[in-house]
A and B are shown apart, each in its own frame.
Chain A
Amino acid sequence: MVHPILSKRRRLLVYWLIWLLIGLGQSLLITFSSDISVAASFTDGFLSALIFAVIAVALWFPVKQFNTSRNSILMEILNHLAMAFIVLGIWVFLTKFLVLMFLQDKPSYQSFWANSIFYRLGAGAFIYAVVMLTYNLMISIENIARKNFREAKLENMLKETELMMLRSQINPHFLFNSLNSISSLTISDAERAREMIIKLSDFMRYALSRKEDRTVDLRTELENLRLYLDIEKIRFGERLVLEEDVQEECLRVRVPNMILQPLYENAIKHGVYESAEAVSIKLIAKRVNGAISIIISNDFDPECIPAGGTGTGLNNVRRRLELYYGNRAWLKTKKEESVFTAELYIPEQADIKL
């Protein structure tokens, strides 16, 4: 931490102005309350102020030292007492010494000095206390500001890391089962196997990309989603039926990338995995006043108690929406008889926070 007064020209100016006022105040006080000459009063008043001003600037360094080292309260009090004792001692004696250098009528000032010593010490102690309080206040303010800054920075970093983690969660089950399907296709249909490898590669590239631009238009998102679904279609064959109804004007709207895949994964997990019959998954995207609504619905067997699943996929989508849009975007899910619906609501014009 730099010196709070010396480091800024304006603060230094204000500082000297304050001391000038203190000096003037002291001079007038001495003039009216004692019988020494006006010249002696003003010399004393201003010189003592000047001396204290110089000492006060220097006091910053020990104060900073006290603040950075961790001492017990007792040590702290002793430190301050010792410092106050030294500072006041230097101040009163240096004032006397310097004033006497300038004055002719030395004996009368000497007696005035001796008489006023307790007032001087009292005033000095008061000024000392004010200086200490000011310095400590400045240190506290700076500490708080620094802490806030660090916290804000940390929060941002956390947010970014969290988004990164939330995004690239490709289910390893999907990956290895797809590879197994490809392995199988190489025997029966090499051409389709190659096609599937390319689709899987393209999809993985999209899922793992760490582009700075974290949102894409819905058209791109849907294109990549189709890669994923084509792969799943090979795995599940007739068991997976896909329908799509997307309004043309939705396609330009920007959405976080890989936001739809977890919803499809969820639909496949609870629809297709748990059922031996064909399951259809339908996507509807439409504009609703300043936002787009994307509805993904799938059939499921209401009799079936799922074997497990922790709801991570949907929670991740919720958390990502929150990080991107605050409360202006949401995900709602509902179960009706044998249809599960997930509705995604994303504002069109979004000033994304990251």
Chain B
Amino acid sequence: MNAKEQITALIIEDEEPARSIIKHYLDKHKSVKLVGECADGYCGLTSIKELNPDLIFLDIQMPKLTGFELLEVLEEKPEIIFTTAFDEYAIKAFDMNAVDYLLKPFSENRFDEAVEKAIIRIRKGESTTSKIQKLAIERVEGSTPLNRIVIRKGNAISFISVRNIRYMEAEDDYVMIYHTAGKALKQQTMKYYERNLPSDEFIRIHRSYLVSIEHVGRIEPYGKDTHIAILKEGERLPVSRSGYKKLKEKINF
């Protein structure tokens, strides 16, 4: 990127006063040009596609699509400066991944510092995609269990409620989610879902299978030492020995 060229920036933040303070601070940075503002995550997603900004200011807690969910479904990640009021787990995640963030309310000095650093990285052409990707797919231990999973199909965003998930199957680097209204593929690990879905509702019955207890119909022995779980809808899933032990602790049969 040429040094004379302006850097384009997008603000994704649901509260108007919070947007206006960023705009105010940004006014003094002549090399940065604000190209758009969004009040929710959906708008953020389409605007990123449309405007392709170099830098985004991203709030975490937002209507429709949270900042983290937006990251999950973004393919190309621009340089991001996160803003948050109070979220211990988000802050922990930022620190762990060495990602810059602003704690509201923030001073002009702190803002300038973050923007200047971002400008340097953009000018150098450093890609942050891998770092941000890690942030998006790793939830800090102790975070509250997931309640929904965001799915992107082309330009459409949809959610699967955790309550509607029947089971998950590992497929290389992906996880196939079977839910009450179909199935969806996510680039994610089983370990992630095992850790972040409510542990009293989901059991990892096998290296490749995570099942919702509610949807298990019955368990039958299968060969020597192993079992199979037969779901209410009829699917037969293998149960490993340790998976069987976990199942036995959770349900009486």
Interface of A with B (CB < 8 Å)?
172-173, 175-177, 179-185, 187-188, 234-237, 272-276, 304-310
**B86–A185 contact, CB under 8 A?**
no
Q: Which parts of B110-167 form the interface with A (CB within 8 Å)?
A: 144, 147-148, 159, 161
**B17–A184 contact, CB under 8 A?**
yes
- Which 3 A/B pairs are nearest by Cβ-Cβ distance? A176-B85, A184-B17, A180-B104
**A187–B66 contact, CB under 8 A?**
no
Chain A nearest CB, measured from B108 CB (Å): 10
A304 / chain B contacts, CB cutoff of 8 Å: 64
Contact of A181 among B15, B63, B106, B161 (CB under 8 A): B15
The distance in angstroms between the C-alpha atoms of A183 and B21, with both chains bound, is 8
The 8 A CB mask of B1-44 against A (1 = contact, 0 = none) is: 00000000000001111101100100000000000000110110
The yes or no answer to B61 lying at the interface (CB within 8 A) is yes
The yes or no answer to B105 lying at the interface (CB within 8 A) is yes
A307 to chain B: closest residue by CB: B66
**A180–B144 contact, CB under 8 A?**
no
B106 / chain A contacts, CB cutoff of 8 Å: 180
Contact of B85 among A177, A236, A275, A308 (CB under 8 A): A177
**A184–B39 contact, CB under 8 A?**
no
The yes or no answer to B194 lying at the interface (CB within 8 A) is no
The distance in angstroms between the C-alpha atoms of A177 and B61, with both chains bound, is 11
**B105–A275 contact, CB under 8 A?**
no
The distance in angstroms between the C-alpha atoms of A304 and B159, with both chains bound, is 8
Instruction: Classify the interface of chain A: helix, strand, loop or mixed.
Output: helix
- 12 A–B pairs (Cβ distance < 8 Å), ordered by A: A180-B15, A180-B17, A181-B17, A187-B20, A187-B21, A273-B63, A274-B64, A276-B40, A307-B66, A307-B69, A307-B147, A308-B147
Chain B nearest CB, measured from A233 CB (Å): 11
Given the interface pairs A177-B18, A235-B15, the reply to whether A276 lies near B63 with Cβ below 8 Å is yes
**A173–B64 contact, CB under 8 A?**
no
The distance in angstroms between the C-alpha atoms of A275 and B43, with both chains bound, is 12
Q: Which parts of B70-102 form the interface with A (CB within 8 Å)?
A: 85-87
B25 to chain A: closest residue by CB: A187
Chain B nearest CB, measured from A120 CB (Å): 66
The distance in angstroms between the C-alpha atoms of A187 and B28, with both chains bound, is 14
B63 / chain A contacts, CB cutoff of 8 Å: 272-276
**A188–B20 contact, CB under 8 A?**
yes
The distance in angstroms between the C-alpha atoms of A262 and B15, with both chains bound, is 21
Given the interface pairs A305-B159, A308-B147, A310-B144, the reply to whether A181 lies near B18 with Cβ below 8 Å is yes
**A176–B86 contact, CB under 8 A?**
yes
**A172–B105 contact, CB under 8 A?**
no
The distance in angstroms between the C-alpha atoms of A173 and B85, with both chains bound, is 6
Given the interface pairs A276-B39, A276-B63, A307-B69, the reply to whether A184 lies near B21 with Cβ below 8 Å is yes
Given the interface pairs A180-B21, A180-B105, the reply to whether A273 lies near B61 with Cβ below 8 Å is yes
**A179–B104 contact, CB under 8 A?**
yes
**B40–A177 contact, CB under 8 A?**
no
B59 to chain A: closest residue by CB: A177
**B15–A173 contact, CB under 8 A?**
no
Chain B nearest CB, measured from A317 CB (Å): 20
B64 / chain A contacts, CB cutoff of 8 Å: 274-276, 304
A187 / chain B contacts, CB cutoff of 8 Å: 20-21, 24
B148 to chain A: closest residue by CB: A305
A235 to chain B: closest residue by CB: B15
The distance in angstroms between the C-alpha atoms of A187 and B26, with both chains bound, is 13
Chain A nearest CB, measured from B186 CB (Å): 16
